[in-house]
Structure 1
Amino acid sequence: MRLFSDKLAWAAPMAVILIIALFSVNLFAQGNPQVKNLPVALIINDEGQHVEVVKDAIKQMSKVADGAEPVLAFTIEKEEDIKNLFNDKEYYAALVIPEGYNEALQNAITNNSAATLKVYINQGFNYTGANFAKTALNGLITQLSGQYSTSFIEKMDGQQIDAATASVLVRPIVSEEQIFNPITASTANGSAPTLMAVPAWVGALIGGFILFLSSSSILKRGRLTRKQTLRLMGEQVLFGVIIALFSGFTVATLGSIAGINMPSYFLVGFFVSFAAFCFFLLVSAITAWIGKPAITLFMVVMLLGMGVLMTPQEMLPSFFVNFIRPWVPIRFASEGLREIFYFGSGFYTGGSFNTILGIGITGLAIYLLSILKQVKAQTN
């Protein structure tokens, strides 16, 4: 019974509970997602009685009981701005009341032609969010169409109608969909950017930790001058470049073999390499200061981040949105690759690129400052 009296042995079940809890925390993010305030643009290019009916339906849709938040959050925009707004990822979709809608619905039975409401879908923003917005908007259109259908049928009670008129009576309002920034075929339904970004973090984590162990071993074998220590750190950074290139082009090569429809093999390879190198600098910086516990820290960040990478923030609990999502480095690599895959971006992807670069510069600065800690440790 000696093992049961050993304190370290009792740490094993505690560690298991902690690790399982970390793995399972994503159940809170994805177990029962509640969509709230999904941003949708409303474009009004007409006026009249029937346009006001659409507006009223949207107002009713936005009203919820018991202080809950609405599923969709509508904002009025101009049609000429919608492409830029979609490219800036301001909206998942847009509902458009086209010019002539009021007259078309007014004369739907006479002209035997249904009125049309348009639905624009920003598919590349997030496949899940865009599809949810599309479903909700089409549901609204179906509801409006059903109301008019009932009214029209009551008015034509007893009248003889032909097949064309019957079709309009059943569906006096139809939806017309247009996809912006489409998710291309063979990209795992929009998940390819995230699936290719995760290896950049894993490669940086493993490579950075192994090089930390190797550098620590060299430092322990003999006292190094500050110049020698700085040279060793430079060699570690150079190794980081090699690891990053291996990471990026291994991901791009495997993606190509797997049939992923990449916009450019070299563009994807270099971007993943860039992200991996910046992540490597961050890993090297933290491990240089706190040592082996850093690997646990970064694993926790990765585990917590997996639940937020492919889920729209409007479908996440507020805790994940406020305290986890902003601190997940992989997210910026995923967003950068999304710009490349679906928004026609080059190597520079805007905000995501700037954030990754900032992570790298900060990591490098903190890593270089760790020479003060290492030299101090050698003099003691």
Structure 2
Amino acid sequence: MKLFKEKLAWAAPIAVILIIALFSVNLFAQGDPQVKNLPVALIVNDEGEHVESVKAAVAQMSQGIDGAEPMLAFTDEKLEDIEVLFDEKEYYAALVISDGYNDAVQYALANNSAATLEIYLNQGFNMTGSNVAKTALNGLITQLSGQYSANFIAQMDNQQIDADQAAVLVHPIVAKEEIFNPITAATANGSAPTLLAVPAWVGALIGGFVLFLSTSIILKRENLTRKQVVRLMGEQVLFGVIIALFSGFTVATLASVAGINMPGYFLVAFFVSFAAFCFFLLVSAITAWIGKPAITLFMVVMLLGMGVLMTPQEMLPSFFVNFIRPWVPIRFASEGLREIFYFGSGFYTGASFNTILGIGITGFVIFLLSIFKPVKAQKN
């Protein structure tokens, strides 16, 4: 029973509990996601009583059920602005009441033609979010169509109708969908940007930690001057460039072999390399200051972040949105690759690029400042 008397042995079950708890935290994000206030644009290009009926249905949907937050949050926008707003990822979808809709409903039976409400889907923003919006908007249109169908049937008063009229009578209002920034084929149903971003973080994490161990051995073995330490740090950064390039081109090559439909091999490879190098600088900076515990910190960040990478923030608990999602570096690499894959971006991807660059610059400065870190005197 000697092992049971060792304090370190009792750390094993505690460590298991902590690790399992960290892995299981994502159950709160993925277990039963509740959609709240998913942003959707409302575009009204017509007027009349039937248009007002649509607006009334939208207003009712915006109130939520039993005091809960609504699934969709509608905002009035103009048709000419919608492409820019989609590119800026302001909305997952849009409900469009086109010019002539009011007359189309008014004379649907006379013209034997159903009225159309248009649904625009910003698929590249997030496939899950756009699909949720699509389902909700189709449900609204189906409900509205059912109300008109009941009214039209009551008006017919047992009159004989032909087949064309019957189709309009059953579905007087139909939905027409148009996809913007489409998810291209062979991109893992929109998951490819995240799948390619994760290796950039893992490569930076492993490479940064191995180089930290290597430099630590050199510093313990040799009594270096400050100038020599700076030179060693420069070599560490140079190694980071090599690791980043290996990471980027390995990811792009494996993605190509796997059949992922990339917008450009070198574009993807260099962007992943850029993200990996900036992440490497961050890892090197933190490990330079706090040592081996940094690897645990970064692993925790990665584990907590996996649950938020592909899920719209409107489907996450507020804790994940406020305290985890903003601090997950992989998210910015994923968003940058999403710009490249689905929004026609080049190497510069806007806000995501700026954030990754900021992470790299901050990491580099903190890494350089570590040369002034107090060093404990070694015992002879």
Q: 2:244 aligns to what?
A: 244
Equivalents in 2 of 1:157, 1:18: separation in Å? 70
Match runs of 1:346-357 below 5 Å? 346-357=346-357
Cα deviation code 1:57-105 (max 9, x no counterpart): 0111111244310000000000000000000000000000000000010
Alignment of 1:171-186 (within 5 A): 171-186=171-186
Find the aligned partners of 1:29 and 1:38 in 2 and give their Cα distance.
16
Instruction: Give the whole-Å Cα distance in 2 for the aligned partners of 1:179 and 1:223.
Output: 63
TM-score, normalised to structure 2's length? 0.99
Q: In the alignment, which residue of structure 1 is the partner of 2:29? A: 29
Q: How do 1:74-223 and structure 2 match up within 5 A?
A: 74-223=74-223
SS of equivalent residue, structure 1 residue 349: coil
Task: Work out the CA distance in 1 between the residues paired with 2:323 and 2:18.
Answer: 19
For residues 182 and 158 of structure 1, what CA distance do their matches in structure 2 show? 46
Q: Displacement, 1:222?
A: 1.3
> Residue in 2 aligned with 1:322?
322
Counterparts of 1:201 and 1:64 in 2: how far apart (Å)? 39
1:279 deviation in Å? 0.1
Q: Deviations over 1:311-342 (max 9, x none)?
A: 00000000000000000000000000000000
Identity %: 82
CA distance in 1, matches of 2:259, 2:99: 43
Question: Secondary structure at 1:33's aligned position in 2?
Answer: coil
Point out 4+ residue stretches in structure 1 off by more than 6 angstroms.
Answer: none
Distance of 2:378 and 2:256 partners within structure 1: 51
Match of residue 280 from structure 2: 280
Report if aligned partners of 1:223, 1:378 keep a CA contact under 8 Å in 2: no
Q: Any idea what the Cα deviations from partners look like across 1:135-171, whole Å, max 9, x if unmatched?
A: 1001100110010001001110210100000010010
Whole-angstrom CA distance in 2 between matches of 1:303 and 1:153: 57
TM-score normalized by the length of structure 1: 0.99
Which residue is 1:294 aligned to? Answer: 294
The aligned counterpart of 1:230 is: 230
| Structure 2: distance between partners of 1:183 and 1:106 | 37
Report the secondary structure of 1:174's partner residue.
Answer: strand
Map of 1:370 onto structure 2 = 370
Tell me, in whole angstroms, the C-alpha distance in 2 between the residues paired with 1:95 and 1:76. 10
- Distance (whole Å) between structure 1 residues aligned to residue 80 and residue 378 of structure 2: 67
Structure 1: tracts of 5 or more residues without a match: none
How big is the shift at 1:379?
9.2
Give, as a single letter, the amino acid of the residue that structure 1 aligns with 2:211. L
**C-alpha deviations, 1:253-303, integer Å up to 9, x for none?**
000000000000000000000000000000000000000000000000000
